[in-house]
Amino acid sequence: MRIVRVLVLACMGAAALLPVHAQKIAPGLWEIRSNMSSGDGKLQQQMAEMQKQMAQLPPEQRKMMEEVLARQGMGMDVSKGMPTVRICVSKEQAERDVPPMELDSQCRFERFQRRGSTMRFAFVCTDPAGRGEGEIKFQGDKAYTSHMTSETTVGKGRVERMTIDQQSRWISADCGKLKPLPER
């Protein structure tokens, strides 16, 4: 169960940056490398355990997991240390001037600003209850870095703090088998 939760966190990290794709970046295949950490170190332990479990998966189970992610428009490789997510950005998504207003069905943006090559945002989520903010710095239309912090209330009111730093780069105009991420 822990492996699934950590994978979801990694995918949420990538999905949290979906508005980046609405800001005139190149369409095609993107690779997003994430470094996630929590103040109590539990997330780092979970990531290490996930990598260990992924390495031990039989090939057919690994393939099944990859297919599930691909149907959601994502590919993932945890063999490089931290999660590396590949997503496909359609031409329409890349051309959009206004970002989607939801991170997922449980989250929404409270603030979204772009000045020059820097974008700042804040979001709030209802289930689980949480909030966060971040900054994205573009290096042209084929690369960006981001830093995001979030707080989520879990269990009996315990607050988990998480930091996600990401490096994103455009790989190719051809997404291969990956389909663009679905619109929300």
| pLDDT for the residue 78 | 58
Angle at alpha carbon of residue 114, lines to 143 and 129, rounded to 5°:
90
| pLDDT for the residue 2 | 40
| pLDDT for the residue 86 | 82
| pLDDT for the residue 103 | 53
Query: Which pLDDT tens digit goes with each residue over 16-34?
Result: 444 444 457 888 998 888 8
Residue with tokens 């206004």: 98
Contact 141, 34 (CB under 8 A): no
What the block records as the tokens of 35 is 């470094």
Say how many C-beta atoms besides its own lie within 10 A of residue 36's C-beta.
Answer: 21
Query: Which pLDDT tens digit goes with each residue over 82-97?
Result: 567 888 888 888 877 4
Task: Work out the end-to-end distance of the chain between its first and last CA atoms, rounded to an integer number of angstroms.
Answer: 26
The pLDDT profile of the chain, 184 residues, written as one tens digit per residue, is 344 444 444 544 544 444 444 457 888 998 888 888 887 877 777 777 877 777 788 888 878 877 776 666 566 665 555 567 888 888 888 877 444 334 566 788 888 888 888 889 998 888 788 899 999 898 888 998 999 999 988 778 888 888 989 899 999 999 988 888 766 5
Q: Which ranges of the chain does DSSP label H, i.e. alpha helix?
A: 2-16, 18-21, 42-56, 59-71, 91-95
Q: Residue ranges of the domains in the chain?
A: 2-171
